[in-house]
Every structure is written in structure tokens, then in C-alpha cells.
Chains A and B, each alone.
Chain A
């Protein structure tokens, strides 16, 4: 049966939450979207694991900020942190998890979709 025509505008989806943002914007992961965390995930997606010093060098973040962001990413189950003792000092290594890799890939796909759908920014 054909769907009846309606003169009313479509209802906003539950995910968009009526914020006025398009569905794709609202679906962006806030955990991944933050620049510092995006940089950390970009580094870890390109290797098996990296230590704290390398993450500090490659992202340009301060020790404190890096530590906070790593904890947030670990809480979101996007990466795993392993600590080991070596010559009386603790070595911290981070490794991206399958969920982190998936979320990062999804984030870039969504950004591409937004770019493609934006008038004046199409290829």
C-alpha cells in the first residue's frame, strides 16, 4: 500500500536529538572527534604498539594531557594500556583495539560523507 502524503515536515530522528544538526554530524563519535584523541588513535592505528614517549613526540601533547586522553580512550575500550617495569622505571605502552580501529575508520568515512554531501565542497 502506498504511503499517505503528509504536509507536515518529517520528525527529527531520535539520534539527532532535535539539536538541529544533520544526522551524520550527530553520529560522529565525540570520543574520536577530539583532536588530541584523534592524533593518538592515528598513531596507534599505524603500528602494533607505541610507548608513552613516542606518543608524546608524535602528537605534540604534554605528559599530563596525553595521560588524560589515554585514560579516556582506555575507558571507551578503544585502546589497551600495558605497564611494565624496566630498569627501575615504568614503561607505558599503548595498543589500539579492534573497536578503536573500527571507530577510527568509521569516523573518517563519516567525515568523507559529510564533505561529499556539503554543497560547494563536492569533488
Chain B
């Protein structure tokens, strides 16, 4: 029989491990950066996001169907979906973000401060920390995501000034794409390991039940 911890992990995190479905987003970010396009203005963020959504929809639909056909589908329990939202660090970050947005709205953080200056980095940080802090994840996955966060925090502040912010765009895209590829390879590897253990499991069952 396959390692029960891996079976449990792959069931709990089956959807998380499919972030490869969003791969066109980081790929476009890297391409835009290579074309030396600067970060979009604050007003254009929504236009850019809408354009990205239209661009990625066909790939998302195709990859989703391919994964479902090959590995099946799982519905996560409500408790599992909300488990990490109750983590003290995530709650503290959400509280801090809410406070920063309120202060920015009332101009307490200077007239130049905008809400997107807070929620965009906070959303990225929360998404990454949710994976790193989740003890039900395999250590290798937490380490890889930790390296990604380290790269963002280490090089991000330096690159924000390079090529009008285009370099930081490439950095975020590269980290996102790397962890997505890692997650998908991990998913494939676990299923391959389980499949390799199949003759033993089948044999045991056949022996017991004729």
C-alpha cells in the first residue's frame, strides 16, 4: 500500500497542486518584462487583469479537463478550505492589511499612498505563507515555497526601481512559474509512486478476498 501520509497529502492538496493551470499568467508577466514594458499605472491594473483572464481562459479550461481526465477530481471539505484562514499569522496579516487600507483611505499614510500599494503585496504574501505555514504540506513543498518567498523579499525591493518596475514583474512571474511547475511535478511523482506500488496492493486485496 502507498505511504498513507502521501495519500493524505495528495487528497488534501490536490487542487493547490494544480496551480500550473494558471501558468500563462506568470509566462505573460515574464514576456512583458522582457519587452521592457513598465508596471501598469494604478488605474490600468484592472484592465491588465481582465486582459490576462481572457488570455488564460482557454489554457485553464484545457488543463483542468486534462487533469480531471487523468487523475480525477476531489471536493475539499468546508473545514479544510477554511483551516488556514484561521492561522494566527494569516489573521494578523489580514488585520494589518485592513488597518493599512483604512488609514490609506483617510490619507493617514500620506497623500501618495494608494490601497493597491498594500493589498497587492499582502495578497502575494498571504498566498505564499498559506502554503509555507500549513503543516499538512510535505516539507519539500514548504521549503521550495519558502525559497520563492525569500527570493521575492530579497530581490524584490532592489528590483522595484529597475526598468520602471518591469524587473520585479519578471521576478514575481519567475517565482510563480517555478513553484507551479514544482507542484505539478510533485503531484505527478506521488501518483507515479502510488501506481508503482499498485501490484502489491492489488495482490493483497486479491489474496484476502479471492
Contact = CB atoms under 8 A, between A and B. Distances in A.
Interface stretch (B1-9, B116-124, B168-176): B1-9
Interface stretch (A14-22, A62-70, A114-122): A62-70
A60 B2 contact: yes
A90 interface: no
A61 B202 contact: yes
A56 interface: yes
B10 interface: yes
B11 A47 contact: yes
A62 B198 contact: yes
Nearest to A30: B208
B205 A57 contact: no
A60 B195 contact: yes
Nearest to A43: B11
Given A65-B202, A65-B205, A54 B72 contact: yes
B7 A50 contact: no
Nearest to B69: A53
Contact of B75 (A35, A43, A48): A48
Nearest to A52: B72
A84 to B, nearest CB: 12
B71 interface: yes
A39 B7 contact: yes
A53 B206 CA distance: 20
B84 to A, nearest CB: 15
- Listed residue (A53, A56, A57, A68) with the most chain B CB atoms within 10 angstroms of its CB: A57
B12 A69 contact: no
Contact of B191 (A47, A51, A55, A57): A57
B92 interface: no
Interface string A21-65: 000000000000011101100110011111111111111111001
Contacts of A43: 7, 11
B155 interface: no
